[in-house]
Homo-oligomer: A and B are copies of this chain.
Amino acid sequence: MTSILIKNGFLITMDAEDQRYYADLLIEGNNIKQIGKDISIRTDKVIDASGRLVLPGFVQSHIHLCQSLFRGQADDQNLLNWLVTITTLESHHTPETLYASARLGLAEMIKSGATGVIDMGTLHHQDSVFQAIEESGIRAQAGKAMMDLTENLPPALQETTETSVRESLDLLHRWHGKANGRIRYGFAPRWQLWNTEGLLKEIKQEADRQGAGVHGHAGEIYDEVPQMLQERGHRNLKYLEHIGVIGPNVQMAHCIWLDDSELRVLAETGTHVLHCPCCNLKLGSGIAQVPEMLARGINVALGSDGTPSNNNFDMFIEMRFASLIHKYRLGALAMPAASVLRMATSNGAKALDLGGSGFGSLEIGKKADLIILDDGGLHAAPLPDFERDDPVKRIVSAYQSDSVRTSIIDGQLVMENRKLLTMDEDVVFSEASKAWNAIANKIAAR
């Protein structure tokens, strides 16, 4: 069991009281063992965090690692054209290109402060994604995309209900609970209109039985609502309630076009909302009613979505957008910095932990998923007195991702002084470029 002592950091605990203070923090094995002044105990590793901020790591609550290679390939397109472009590209993945894609995304996210992710995979080769996740050291829920109602898509992205469920269960048995519980399976029905009711019901029962998640999209675009009403007789969340696919193990991305009755479903059932502000603007989808959701006690987490709809995996960018786009709607006092940081950290952890709270705050007994930030450099200067000038405001509105110095996930050092310890960044970069060129050449040759 390894032990790490972090000395003299300014702790932003994200606990229920939102406490912030100077202290030492002791990690033993996977957990936070002790927090206090002047802890002096012999440990395997001591990290000097003087003048630095220590906080729970970010959770990227809605991503598509399979799309990392396709960054910039569908810019300035509306969602339906975008979807055709990207699903076509996805259909060309081999296990090798998918592995390169996942590694690229994971490296970018860890360097930007993510310690956890909720990933929606593509149809095939999902073992490659799990392998990359396991090696990277990140905490993750992942699962292959399920789409058993997609006759218009490339043949490589079609599947029967039976195959979809069987392959998902095979993956679950191989990966769920692996790496000391750091990896969790999440069924990933892409969206209601591409999945049969039978599939949705079946996987929810499996998820309940196995302690797995259900991760989908809901209410992303305006046109979805009339189509849902026509085909399923209900708006998205009311439909999911109707068929029982709701609750603390269900995470729904976007949730822009919801009415009051659907907000009530979310609040009453503990179903998580995964808010992706950049993506929603980029694709012209709309702006989710996040402050209203938070006021109702709905758990809203933040995510970047895939790189072709963003184009970064960077929680600092997501926090800026989450903070500013709602002020436009509701005035300058809406979405204070503390709420935004909570969405990026503890709310994300709650979604990833399926409503549990085993991580996402700096508290004794919680799993040690945390990051250490430097002073923010010129972008955050002048240097604040942390006890006088609220550093949370600076993190949300001034820091950039290169301020993340060190990352610890499940008690393991994953990045130190901006050097990834689980991957060789140069290799990840060059293999991603090689993999993308392989796909681009394959398409050009057709």
Contact = CB atoms under 8 A, between A and B. Distances in A.
Contacts of A283: 327, 332
A331 interface: yes
B69 A332 contact: no
A403 to B, nearest CB: 11
A75 B328 CA distance: 14
Contacts of A381: 71, 104, 108, 429, 432-433
Contacts of A398: 71-72, 307, 311-312
A191 interface: no
Interface string A83-127: 000000000000000000000100110010000000000000000
A331 B440 CA distance: 28
Nearest to A76: B336
A428 interface: yes
Nearest to A317: B320
Interface stretch (A170-178, A233-241, A382-390): A382-390
A72 B384 contact: yes
A296 to B, nearest CB: 21
Given A281-B328, A283-B332, A328-B281, A377 B72 contact: no
A253 to B, nearest CB: 17
A371 to B, nearest CB: 17
A332 B104 contact: no
Given A332-B282, A378-B107, A337 B429 contact: no
Nearest to A70: B382
A193 to B, nearest CB: 20
Contacts of A440: 388
Given A72-B397, A397-B72, A382 B104 contact: yes
A286 B328 contact: yes
B324 A281 contact: yes
Nearest to A330: B284
A332 B382 contact: no
Chain A contact residues, majority secondary structure: helix
A321 interface: yes
A78 B281 contact: no
Contacts of A378: 104, 107-108, 111, 425, 428-429
A33 interface: no
A433 B325 CA distance: 30
Interface string A297-322: 00000000001001111100100110
A41 interface: no
Contacts of A310: 397
A332 B71 contact: no
A21 interface: no
Contacts of A388: 440
Contacts of A336: 75-76
A314 B380 CA distance: 12
Contacts of A323: 282
Given A75-B337, A75-B397, A336-B76, A328 B287 contact: yes
A278 B79 CA distance: 25
Interface in A333-388: 333-334, 336-337, 377-385, 388
A312 B379 contact: yes
A50 interface: no
* The 8 A-B residue pairs with the shortest CB-CB distance in the complex, in nearest-first order: A382-B436, A281-B324, A284-B332, A383-B433, A108-B378, A382-B433, A78-B332, A382-B432
5 contacts: A72-B394, A78-B331, A78-B332, A282-B397, A284-B331
Given A108-B379, A283-B332, 14 more contacts: A72-B397, A75-B337, A75-B393, A75-B397, A76-B333, A78-B331, A78-B332, A278-B324, A284-B327, A284-B332, A310-B397, A379-B401, A383-B429, A385-B437
